[in-house]
């Protein structure tokens, strides 16, 4: 019994010494990954855009690397995939910028290839109009430059500030892919 008590005391002392050593030993900080600032001005072209609807965030990519993140506004009823004209939803899926509009009623705009064939087929099966004219755009031209509408207010588009759409409009090209996630 005395031997067991001595063994237990010795093990306890060793544990205390190990804990003290771990606390007093110099600690090397974990390496910090180098990530480019995603709020710096966007320069150069982008080849892919990812939109996370639930986070209200859009990230522009170049060569599979994120280069800029924006806060966005969506359709007035953004949950779920767009089903029909007037539902206020922003569509989900993989799209392509297929047109640009320098004379948009919403400052500048980048048009997406919605509805795609699968969107038209789904709407036809439901007997509804799938809608169309989905854009990444700025604020309404009737507002002063710099003024931003609050909340989700579009009919299904993705809205940025006027300064942000000017930046993205200069960097995106027809053919740039856009992935819209829930």
Enter the tokens of residue 96.
């392509």
Instruction: Spot the catalytic one: 48, 52, 107, 137.
Output: 137
Q: Which residues contact 127 (CB under 8 A, 6 or more apart)?
A: none
The SS3 assignment for 128 reads: coil
Instruction: Spot the catalytic one: 15, 48, 52, 157.
Output: 157
Q: Buried b / exposed e across 1-23, counting CB within 10 Å, b at 16+?
A: eeeeeeeeeeeeeeeeeeeeeee
Specify whether 107 is catalytic.
Answer: no
Q: Where are the alpha helices (DSSP H) in 25-161?
A: 117-126
Tracing tokens 């960097």 back to the chain, one arrives at 171
Specify whether 137 is catalytic.
Answer: yes
Residues with catalytic function = 137, 157
């Amino acid at each position: 019994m005395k031997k067991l008590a001595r063994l237990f005391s010795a093990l306890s002392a060793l544990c205390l010494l190990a804990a003290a050593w771990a606390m007093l030993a110099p600690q090397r900080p974990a390496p910090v990954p180098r990530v480019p600032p995603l709020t710096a001005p966007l320069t150069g072209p982008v080849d892919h855009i990812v939109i996370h609807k639930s986070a209200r965030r859009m990230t522009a990519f170049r060569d599979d690397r994120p280069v800029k993140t924006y806060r966005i506004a969506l359709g007035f009823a953004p949950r779920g995939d767009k089903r029909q004209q007037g539902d206020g939803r922003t569509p989900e899926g993989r799209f392509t910028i297929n047109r640009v509009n320098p004379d948009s009623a919403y400052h500048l705009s980048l048009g997406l290839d919605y509805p795609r064939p699968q969107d038209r087929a789904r709407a036809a099966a439901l007997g509804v109009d799938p809608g169309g004219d989905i854009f990444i755009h700025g604020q309404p031209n009737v507002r002063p430059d710099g003024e931003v509408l609050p909340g989700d207010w579009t009919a299904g588009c993705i809205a940025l500030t006027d300064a942000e759409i000017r930046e993205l409009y200069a960097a995106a090209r027809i053919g740039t892919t856009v992935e819209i996630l829930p």
